[in-house]
Structure 1
């Protein structure tokens, strides 16, 4: 006779339990125990409530971590639960432990003011069953360029911690109101340069007249394909961006292709196009809407600005937006937008019943991008959706990978 195992899902481990979790992750991943321990130990904002695990007959057998991130959507900021470090003891697989944890985490995030969730994965079917939806992105790849050697007023220097405030300000200026970028305050930056992902990359700076005007980060990997994690610059540095890019490429002598996620307004975008960039579909980012009402209340100022820019003073808009089982009501009147969980009796509402995957794509990339990707047939409401969700120059920098 077989007995049913006793399974309990918990969060907030003791230090002793956390050590057991690190040992479990060491068994599951080749990067080793220190990779996971350093990430949490070097995070001054770490909250043990975000560490979840499942016990089988009293023994820790599975783990999933939530990394709270704040991302921009225009000038609005959403709280995102980034899901990572998913590992289960090989002897306990098949019991649905990770799914049980993910279900509990979804409830926790709903109660803790999270709006959306993101995980980076290759096992799409596994996470689809838990409610996350794949939204592909496109990287550009070019043959690694020959070294660029020409006179310049700029010099390329290696990163040092004393330049941290300068690159932090470059990041803020470049990404002001840029959708999908993580909010990196001073504490985040000082933690970031101690985390394992930072150590798995190289950072170079572009300096002119003793001022740092650009920086770039390239992954530290001896492979034929290498990702440029980010390259950001001040407006005055545009003529030095290619110089910095070439210097980063020289750090990877074995690479044959350089890949990058580039917005169309990035200086390197045209450079990649001139060098016959090949688009490569990246099937990695999976999303879940955690709280529709919370998300749209935070989006309200950004959506109001978009409506003001597109509608005349006497135009009104009354929308009931439904996604899964959630519904919100959006009332735009006299240049003011209100968002509510209940309808107003005075108005006739236009119903927009939107698929979760499509809605998140609208928010992050824009309606046009979702329509092109998924061939959405919604001509009746296309005008409204294009106003609410215009195309975004959106990017998630791999430096923030979790």
Structure 2
């Protein structure tokens, strides 16, 4: 009898605890938590180096120059790839640059961000890349936020350490303990295809136009005069709004993509870009490319991007002072995009690479959909397409009404 009673009590206890666990489920949620990666100031100053090929940690943006492809390894540097044979690309070196996200190239000089510093490299001998200049604290608001829900940054010694990147992990948290103060709040960071240029993707924040380098940060267009390629002149920054993410050039205009909208600036006087107009779209992550009378904007909702829905927005810019929405198409989670003649390429994240005929922008025709890949950004070259995603470099050849894969390179 005593044994039966004890078993019954044990069963009731386990059942009660199980019920309590079930009742607790709705009090928790999964959050992406970002924690800072730091270096001492001395380590940061001495961290730049050119070394042999390394496996990539997290593929970022892509850039093409002559027979070479440069792929950013987020916050760590740039992988250099010999692409003289697109069917068989070869990794040849890695440029270590702490806090790097963007690059641009003109006449064998490579410009790269290193947090708030602008680095200049001579790449005329690709097997013997040289550091020729470091301009300190010229990219003063160069802060890149990862996709995360919570940012935790206690314990940083701001006198002796510098934030060079982020580690993002998924964690289950008690909802009531996730307060607004855990988010973006008082974070201290570091203190204050023509004319010989290469070609970047639509997610680029660096753009060279003639003798000027334009580098956007979260608020400004940073302007550098680079007629002396080794010694850029830091000119007056131009305030351009909030949550700026990308930059694209067409003729005498810069098209600035932000989480608030698309801003258009005139660079007839290149040292002082002047505001022309804007197209507002609410809150979403926003790269933009331009062809003819239309700007093609991909909007990605969710997480830091804010908006719930994602899509392709085609904006009529025939009247440059009054851009208007022509039409929009639903997408899943679009990132970069590119255009070659009448082909439109969209990196739709985990939904793959989508290729459209854009002859009639109000009736896009699907030509290809490569589904089983994760895509990030593209560069349409003259005779083939470059695409990067999920630590892989893909290359495709153009056919009349489609494209065909010619190589992949595990980065």
**TM-score normalised by structure 2 residue count:** 0.22
Task: Give the structure with the higher percent strand.
Answer: 2
The answer to which structure, 1 or 2, has the higher relative contact order (CA under 8 A, 6+ apart) is: 1
User: TM (normalized to structure 1)?
Assistant: 0.22
More helix per residue? 1
